[in-house]
Amino acid sequence: MSNRNQSLYPHNSPNAYSNAKPSSPFASPNMLKCNQVNSEFEIQSSNSAVCLNPLQNQSPSKIQDKNINKMWGPLNFKKINIGIDDEEYPKTISKFWIKIDNMKKMYPFNIKFTSNVDKLKKEMCIAAWKRSRGDGNCYFRAVITSYYDIIHKPYSPIEDLESFKEILSRLCYYDIIHKPYSPIEDLESFKEILSRLYLDYPGIEEFFDARDEILKSIDKSIYIKQNDSKITAYENALNNLQNEKFDINLVKVSRFITACAFMEAKDSSDISSYLVDGYESFLHEMMEMGKEGGEFTLILLPTKLKIQVIQYMYLDKEIIVQSFPNQVEKDSKVISIIRRAGHYDILYQKKSLELDGCDLRKGTFNFTEDLNYYKELEQSYN
């Protein structure tokens, strides 16, 4: 039998999705103990900046144990009013977070499914979810839009944006230390490789054009964060994520990042042994718009972005939780997604809901420009 269909990592294989058990070492369970916080707290505010502390209406938790209320008192918060998502099928991703309980509407008579939704909420700290358009790009969309959202949060350091800019700027440069090619040589080499595949995807120039458009948005975000308002930068990012052209550019960029990471790593001992039939078909999966990425993508994309993707899988069986990659740096960003019948959507942790001052009933976020507040809040979770 050819090794071509074997997985680089056993827990990433397609069979693992249907056969792995929660106790399996391949399932990489990531069961989080959930602090009992109110995932639907309301915040009294007006349409403009107001003085309030969004923690005051929450049920008892570590936050109050830390006496953050007493430490900070009233703070200037600004409300971002998105509005409740109508739950119509999105053209990109849902405009606002949907209560996780509403996921039950998908299969209301599937007892196992509805029970698993309850487990997500009560045992795994999931507060809400967003739909990702299912056009064959949903994995890439779920990961890259979540990443773009997180690095734009008012409390995320500007270095996160600069890190993404660096990743985009170096696409197709390969590993400069070990393979010191010039950018032109790399680009021409990559074009030649792709031209031999005769695949139905945009030309390589379109991927570079998409990269350039996203770079412009990152430069704009950096400027706004530095010279105007961190909250305004996030509002602009949310608007971008609802723009169909911008969304497709993000998808192209995520595929481009994955493909370049693959070309850098394909000769390594970890990957080369799985390429006995050549690497072209794997590159095809990564670059073909409308075709979901395969097993390598699950590792390569988050690794290149320096994040961890926690993937929850279930429908009519027990929940399986996998982490890609399994080991990351302590301060790495974490993205949660859910896989059902080959489709990926985005999940929202209760911790993020608290940090964002998110009111699911009103469709609003509440943020402050004071980063020290968020540092103290983050420490309360440790």
In angstroms, the CA 153 to CA 381 distance is 18
The beta-carbon contacts of 39-44 under 8 Å, at least 24 apart in sequence, are 39/121, 39/127, 39/128, 39/350, 39/353, 39/360, 40/99, 40/359, 40/360, 40/361, 41/359, 42/359, 42/361, 42/362, 43/77, 43/79, 43/357, 43/359, 43/364, 43/366
For the chain, the domains span 3-379
Name, in order, each residue with C-beta under 8 angstroms of 212's C-beta and a sequence gap of 6 or more: none
Other C-beta atoms lying within 10 Å of the C-beta of residue 42 = 13
Q: Does the bond joining 157 to the residue before it have cis omega, within 30 degrees of 0? A: no
In degrees and rounded to multiples of 5, residue 292 shows phi and psi of -65, 140
Please check the confidence at residue 170 and state whether its pLDDT lies above 90: no
Q: Which residues contact 57 (CB under 8 A, 6 or more apart)?
A: 38, 41, 42, 43, 44
Q: Which of 183, 145, 151 is closest to 165 using CA atoms?
A: 151
Architecture of the domain spanning 3-379: Up-down Bundle (1.20)
How many residues appear in the chain? 382
Averaged confidence pLDDT in the chain:
79
**Contact predicate 127/140, CB 8 Å:** no
Please give the structure tokens belonging to residue 58: 């929450």
Write out pLDDT tens, residues 233-259.
999 999 999 999 999 999 999 999 998
Residue 176 neighbours by CB under 8 Å, 6+ apart: 170
Express each pLDDT in 328-347 by its tens digit: 998 899 999 999 888 999 99
Question: How far does CA 259 lie from the centroid of its chain?
Answer: 18
Which tokens sit at 276?
A: 């006995």
Tokens of 270: 């970890």
Q: Which residue has the tokens 């071509």?
A: 4
Contacts for 239 with CB less than 8 Å, ≥ 6 apart:
none
Which burial class, exposed, middle or buried, applies to 367 when counting CB atoms under 10 A from its CB (0-12, 13-18, 19+)? buried
pLDDT of residue 288: 85
Query: Cβ distance 95 to 136 under 8 Å?
Result: no
Which range has the worst mean pLDDT, 52-61, 115-124, 346-355?
Answer: 52-61
Tell me which of 41-55, 103-117, 210-224, 368-382 is least confident.
41-55
- Residue 241 gets the label, from left (phi > 0), alpha (psi -120 to 50) or beta, of alpha
Q: How far apart are CA 381 and CA 216, in angstroms?
A: 35
pLDDT of amino acid 201: 57
Amino acid at residue number 132: S
Higher-pLDDT residue of 183 and 368 is 368
**Highest-confidence segment of 15-19, 78-82, 172-176:** 78-82
pLDDT in tens, 44-64: 333 333 333 333 334 334 443
Burial class (CB in 10 A: 0-12, 13-18, 19+), 372: exposed
